Chain A
Amino acid sequence: MNEPLGRFGRKLAAHWPAVAIFAGFIMLWQLAVSFLGIREYLLPSPMAVLRAMFGDEIPWSRHIWVTAAEIVGAFVIAGVAGVLLGVAIAWSSAWANALTPFLVFVNTLPKVAIAPLFLMWMGYGILPNMLIGALIGFFPVVINTAVGLKQIDQDIVDLGRVFNAPKWKVFMKIRIPNAYPYILSALKVTATAAVVGAIVGEFVASQAGLGYVIITTQSSMNTPVAFAALVWTSILGLLLFGFVAALSRLLVPWAEDV
């Protein structure tokens, strides 16, 4: 009887600073709105945003669903493509020399400026928005995968060689598990990049989604609803981030801090 409460208490003790920062932020926000007399269309109060989040002015579930699909899609594409490219770069220096300059070039392109071109090439919808998110988020995975595969205790690799393990087996059994912490920490960055990509894509062209709600309601000065959509968006981002963090704890409990 006492134990779950104790566990909860321990959790609270561990997380109270994070909770306090959120609470303090919301309190300051509410006070600023109340005492400075800021008009709602410029900055709505936290209460107004909360009401909008659970109000029936907007069919939230539909928009959340569309944006969630785009975020998850972008995350998966970026993750898979990033790991594959990272493996290619770590596999041989020839591949690394061939691929790296082009990948760096793609990564430095400002994605916000490219997004309208995606509309021309692919039309609008969930898929182009996934690709924009993937384009923003794949690079850290490539780099971290390559680094994780290469930065390895040479003794372990030598041990594999002693037993005559082929190169691919050394990769599968030694190098890839070694790279897990690196890949997972890159995926945390990708999780937030996927959110940015989905919203950028929806800003350019869309018929549904949280970015669509933001742009539509902003244009009619319905700022509380725009803020509500922002909060829903960041909740989606937090969930994905939390998923990656949980995955890290599961796969690489020894390296939870990365």
Chain B
Amino acid sequence: MHNTLNTWRRVLAASALALSVGTASAQAEKFTFSLNWFAVGDHAAYWVALDKGYYAKAGLDVTLENSKGSGDSIAKVDTDRADAGLADAVAVLAAGARGARVKMVGMVFDKTPLNFFSRKDNPLTKPKDLEGKTVGAPAGDGQRQAWPAFAKLHNIDQSKVTWVNIEPAAKIAALAEKRVDVVGDYTTGMPFYEKAMGVGNAVMLPWADAGFDLYSMSIIASETTMNKKPKQLRAFLEASYMGWRDVMADPKGALAIFKKRVPEIDLSIIEPNMMLGLELMRTRMYADKGIGWIDEKKMCASTDIVNTYMGLPKKVDCKAAYSMDYVSEVAMPLSVK
């Protein structure tokens, strides 16, 4: 008897829950956000915002969708298969020159994560060491695209550096197995290299430390979203940066949510991966202006590099490539480093 009562209670509670969820999603507006890749550390913020109901409170029913690289994410946003997305600034600028109607509406990393990895037995200690080396990177990587500018800045003889196109998934193995001397990959990738090569055996050469700066991971939106859903876009960005704020304030808690939502992730790698990402965000700029702020001077400098070296059919106007109309200030809880 007692048992049946309990069962009935459960059924009632479940149907009440189903009802409330039903009504909530009936009111909430669908909003698809295309991530740039499979789950990595810098995606935690969006899962946190989703899990804590920041999107729901803003009236959005957000779907997070994996993509295969920035190009894929841009194409989805540009063709309205997603309302907003994550993509590398260099890829966004290149797509703009070829007719894509997307803009950057908020930044993720303020400092550039561009970086070279090498092995301890054949390390890259300064940019000039690249001469005579073989460098592997996927054709679309920021490092590959911005390379001529980096080489010029450090007076590297480009004819003495051999580039090999490798698949993103093969980067780590190619370096670990000595098929290439150097691999271009974000600083945040360090834990993956240490797992393959052993702790202390992977050497980083962050471009930011070598006097090079370029915008990288950004949040983009299509013309359609900006024109037809400006309120939703604004709400989405605010909730997302609140997710970032929570990641910064409580990384462990954020990782627990991330793991709950995406059980396939390996926290022993994703945790340091995410923490390295935070290092790229604790800048004076974000402390003063809020997380995600885009600086015009820096955007135009980034655009200059793309315009000069990428051989695009037309020059991109940096002021038309981004918009700050949709970001509301979310204060950064971290100290500047």
Are A219's CB and B138's CB within 8 A? yes
Cβ–Cβ < 8 Å partners of A39 in chain B:
78, 98-100
Are B98's CB and A221's CB within 8 A? yes
Are A207's CB and B98's CB within 8 A? no
Which residues 190-235 in A have Cβ within 8 Å of B in the complex?
A: 202-207, 212, 215-216, 218-223
Tell me if A42 counts as interface (CB < 8 A to partner B): yes
Chain B residue with the shortest CB-CB distance to A117: B173
Tell me if B323 counts as interface (CB < 8 A to partner A): no
Question: With A205-B136, A219-B91 known to touch, is A116 a contact of B167 (CB < 8 Å)?
Answer: yes
Are B99's CB and A212's CB within 8 A? no
CA separation between A120 and B95, bound complex, in Å?
A: 33
Are A205's CB and B79's CB within 8 A? no
What's the least CB distance linking A125 to chain B, in Å?
Answer: 10
Are A204's CB and B170's CB within 8 A? yes
Which of A40, A116, A202, A219 meets B169, CB within 8 Å?
A116
Are B139's CB and A216's CB within 8 A? yes
Which residues 243-290 in B have Cβ within 8 Å of A in the complex?
A: none
Are B94's CB and A123's CB within 8 A? no
Residue tally, chain A, CB below 8 Å to B: 24
CA separation between A206 and B164, bound complex, in Å?
A: 6
Chain B residue with the shortest CB-CB distance to A214: B139
Cβ–Cβ < 8 Å partners of B121 in chain A:
none
Which of A120, A203, A205, A221 meets B71, CB within 8 Å?
A221
Cβ–Cβ < 8 Å partners of B312 in chain A:
220
CA separation between A202 and B177, bound complex, in Å?
A: 19
CA separation between A41 and B258, bound complex, in Å?
A: 35
- A interface footprint on B68-109 (CB within 8 Å = 1, 0 otherwise): 010100110011000000000001001101111000000000
What's the least CB distance linking B49 to chain A, in Å?
Answer: 30
Tell me if B179 counts as interface (CB < 8 A to partner A): yes
CA separation between A119 and B169, bound complex, in Å?
A: 11
Which of A40, A119, A215 meets B99, CB within 8 Å?
A40
Are A124's CB and B166's CB within 8 A? yes
Number of A-B contacts (CB under 8 A): 83
Question: With A219-B91, A219-B139, A220-B310 known to touch, is A119 a contact of B173 (CB < 8 Å)?
Answer: yes
Tell me if B174 counts as interface (CB < 8 A to partner A): yes
Are B163's CB and A120's CB within 8 A? no
What's the least CB distance linking A242 to chain B, in Å?
Answer: 30
CA separation between A218 and B145, bound complex, in Å?
A: 13
Cβ–Cβ < 8 Å partners of A203 in chain B:
167
CA separation between A30 and B286, bound complex, in Å?
A: 48
Are B179's CB and A222's CB within 8 A? no
Residue tally, chain B, CB below 8 Å to A: 32
Chain A residue with the shortest CB-CB distance to B166: A205
Tell me if B162 counts as interface (CB < 8 A to partner A): yes
CA separation between A227 and B140, bound complex, in Å?
A: 17
Cβ–Cβ < 8 Å partners of A219 in chain B:
69, 71, 91, 138-140
Question: With A40-B98, A116-B169, A124-B166 known to touch, is A220 a contact of B140 (CB < 8 Å)?
Answer: yes
CA separation between A215 and B163, bound complex, in Å?
A: 14
CA separation between A112 and B139, bound complex, in Å?
A: 19
CA separation between A42 and B177, bound complex, in Å?
A: 37
Which of A119, A220, A223 meets B166, CB within 8 Å?
A119
Are B98's CB and A116's CB within 8 A? no
Tell me if B7 counts as interface (CB < 8 A to partner A): no
Cβ–Cβ < 8 Å partners of B177 in chain A:
120
Are A206's CB and B165's CB within 8 A? yes
Are B179's CB and A123's CB within 8 A? yes
CA separation between A124 and B179, bound complex, in Å?
A: 8
CA separation between A218 and B78, bound complex, in Å?
A: 16
Chain A residue with the shortest CB-CB distance to B313: A222
Cβ–Cβ < 8 Å partners of A204 in chain B:
166-167, 170
Chain A residue with the shortest CB-CB distance to B173: A120
Are A215's CB and B139's CB within 8 A? yes
Are B98's CB and A222's CB within 8 A? yes
Cβ–Cβ < 8 Å partners of B310 in chain A:
220
CA separation between A39 and B164, bound complex, in Å?
A: 30
Cβ–Cβ < 8 Å partners of A116 in chain B:
167, 169-170, 173
CA separation between A96 and B241, bound complex, in Å?
A: 64
Which residues 1-49 in A have Cβ within 8 Å of B in the complex?
A: 39-42
Are B100's CB and A41's CB within 8 A? yes
CA separation between A222 and B139, bound complex, in Å?
A: 12
What's the least CB distance linking B262 to chain A, in Å?
Answer: 22
CA separation between A113 and B20, bound complex, in Å?
A: 44
Are A120's CB and B174's CB within 8 A? yes
Cβ–Cβ < 8 Å partners of A206 in chain B:
164-165
What's the least CB distance linking A240 to chain B, in Å?
Answer: 24
What's the least CB distance linking A219 to chain B, in Å?
Answer: 3
Question: Could you list 6 A-B pairs, sorted by A, with CB under 8 Å?
Answer: A41-B100, A120-B177, A205-B136, A216-B165, A220-B145, A221-B74
Q: Can you name 8 extra interface pairs (CB under 8 A) apart from A41-B100, A116-B173? A: A41-B98, A116-B167, A120-B173, A124-B164, A205-B166, A218-B140, A219-B91, A219-B139
Chain A residues proximal to chain B, CB less than 8 Å: 39-42, 116, 119-120, 123-124, 202-207, 212, 215-216, 218-223
The 8 closest A-B pairs by CB, nearest first: A219-B140, A216-B139, A41-B98, A39-B99, A219-B139, A116-B170, A221-B98, A205-B166
